[in-house]
Amino acid sequence: MNLMKSAGLMFSLLCCGIVLSTHVHAESREVTAGPLKLQVPGEWKQRQPSSSLRLAEFSIPAKEDGAEAAELSVFGPFGGSVEANVGRWVGQFDAEGRKVEMVQGKGTQGKYVLVNISGTFKKPIGPPVLQKTQSTPGQRMLAIMLIVEGQGNFFLKLTGSDELVSATGDALRASIGAKADGEEPYAP
């Protein structure tokens, strides 16, 4: 195809509202978080955990310039029932407008329960001991309780804008060797 035809085709596609994506997903890499081996996308930036309770911490960049990055924190091994942990996560969102969905599945590292919460997040401000929060609407949390036989319960908590966290769900599942198509509704 000559240059004029290529330019004409590109102009036609743009005029018709068709957008060609040039974004290439980076290769995944293995990251160790305690006894866990996570497969995370290359664009996830690992950073020093902000607390000794965290095994690993990542910043997930937003797709658009100037938008806030999402945060993934990996905790464990801790105890507590699924219900107790879910209750704590749900309580981090204002009741008004909050939506909660729960599924369960099995990944390569063990069984898990995934909680998908959206609404107004009570974003922590300052040291946890102060328990100060700022209401941040349009947010989502994907929280996984991963039960690793012989190792305990591990927790992966992804928070950020509704759009970014929703778009990151498959990569979060893949990090523990899981897929959404193998999940079923959670039944306690």
Q: What is the pTM for the complete model shown?
A: 0.83
Give the dihedral sign, CA 179/182/184/188: negative
**SS3 letters across the chain:** CCHHHHHHHHHHHHHCCCCCCCCCCCCEEEEEECCEEEEEECCCEEECCCCCCEEEEEEECCCCCCCCCEEEEEEEEECCCHHHHHHHHHCCECCCCCEEEEEEEEECCEEEEEEEEEEEEEEEECCHHHCEEEEEEEEEEEEEEEEECCCEEEEEEEEEEHHHHHHHHHHHHHHCCCCHHHCEECCC
| Domain 25-185 CATH class label | alpha beta
| Contact indicator for 77, 151 with CB cutoff of 8 Å | yes
pLDDT tens track of the chain, all 188 residues?
443 443 343 333 333 333 332 333 458 999 999 999 999 999 999 999 988 889 999 999 998 887 899 999 999 888 788 999 999 999 999 999 999 999 999 999 999 999 999 999 999 888 878 889 999 999 999 999 999 999 999 999 999 999 999 999 999 999 999 999 999 999 87
Domain residue ranges of the chain, discontinuous segments joined by +? 25-185
